[in-house]
Amino acid sequence: MSETKISVRILGCGSSGGVPRIGNRWGDCDPSEPKNRRSRCSILLSTTEPGDASPTHILVDTSPDMREQLLSAGNIRHINAVLFTHDHADQTHGLDDLRQVAYMMRERIPVYMDEITSQTLFRRFAYVFEQAEDSAYPAILNGIDMPPLGKTFLVAGKGGDIPVTPFAVEHGPTFQALGFRFGSIAYTPDVSDIPAPSVAALQGVDTWIIDALRREAHPTHFHLDLALEWIKKIKPRRAILTNMHVDMDYQSLCKELPENVVPAFDGMVVEGWV
């Protein structure tokens, strides 16, 4: 069976308030370094076969910055599926901007989410899933239950099917978020611990895009040292830090990180295969 090449564009790699934070607060990040300007976390996964005029696209999370992120990503005219890691505002509040994509596609976009995320989004954004009786605006999304954790499912598209394996991570002691494995690439933007069954889902990963919020410990996120400990444990060929706060200066990190670990930046493209 031949491998399908994929690319992951890091649409945003900033913490929940972005970098800089409102008030032009850059913290330790050098404002003159463009890679320190970070929008909220999201990625766009695409097939990249030569001559592929219509790649298969998967969007992970719809950040409040999604409109600008997708404009920066190029001529994105369709999305085959949206996956949500969890229901927090910095992952979901760009949801309505999918309307323009759905209009271009002339069909609803499939959205995969766990039970808690589904309940939250149907409560906050009911109109995108079901047209209101007094509204002229059609529903734009099809809500789909996330398949069983640890089991691989396929997102189909003209550019080729993409296998997706969801797995559970802790996002604080009482809250579960999801990570995803796409062949050679894994994505865990919000994580404070990884249970044993999910460690198994990470085994053999080539590239791991991993939460590293800040330098000091945090109750609901990996901080830098903890992220590096997990990278040593999982042993990916390459690790990319995301969800970074204002104390995580890009150039400073580049100077101090191990050779196989780099900080993300908005617009960074990572190659892999499924």
Could you read off the pLDDT of 196-237 as tens digits, one per residue? 999 999 999 999 999 999 999 999 999 999 999 999 999 999
Three-state DSSP class for residue 232: helix
Q: Are 209 and 10 in contact, with CB atoms under 8 Å apart?
A: yes
The CA distance from 171 to 173, in Å, is 7
**Residue 1 pLDDT > 80:** no
Dig out the tokens for 240 from the structure. 């990319």
The CA distance from 87 to 81, in Å, is 17
Q: Name residues whose C-beta falls within 8 Å of residue 13's C-beta, 6 or more positions apart in sequence.
A: 38, 39, 41, 241, 242, 243, 244, 263, 264, 265, 266, 268
**Residue 146 pLDDT > 70:** yes
What percent of the chain stands above pLDDT 90? 95
Residue 59, CB-side half-sphere exposure with 13 Å CA sphere: 27
The CA distance from 153 to 197, in Å, is 17
Dig out the tokens for 232 from the structure. 């040593």
CATH H-level superfamily of 5-273: Ribonuclease Z/Hydroxyacylglutathione hydrolase-like (3.60.15.10)
What pLDDT sits at residue 50? 66
What pLDDT sits at residue 85? 99
- The per-residue pLDDT for range 12-62, each reduced to its tens digit, is 999 999 999 999 999 999 999 999 999 999 999 999 776 667 999 999 999
What percent of the chain stands above pLDDT 70? 98
What pLDDT sits at residue 51? 64
**Exposed, middle or buried by CB within 10 Å (0-12, 13-18, 19+), for 197?**
exposed
**Residue 157 pLDDT > 80:** yes
The model's confidence at residue 153, banded by pLDDT at 50, 70 and 90, is very high
Dig out the tokens for 129 from the structure. 């899933």
- The per-residue pLDDT for range 242-258, each reduced to its tens digit, is 999 999 999 999 999 99
Q: Which of 190, 134, 263 is nearest to 15 (CA)?
A: 190
* pTM, rounded to two decimals: 0.97
CA 196 to chain centre: 22
The CA distance from 239 to 229, in Å, is 12
> If you search the block for the tokens 């599926």, which residue do you land on?
81
Three-state DSSP class for residue 198: helix
**Residue 2 pLDDT > 80:** no
What pLDDT sits at residue 48? 79
Domain assignments of the chain as residue spans, ordered by start: 5-273
Range name among 7-16, 41-50, 109-118 with the lowest pLDDT average? 41-50
What pLDDT sits at residue 3? 85
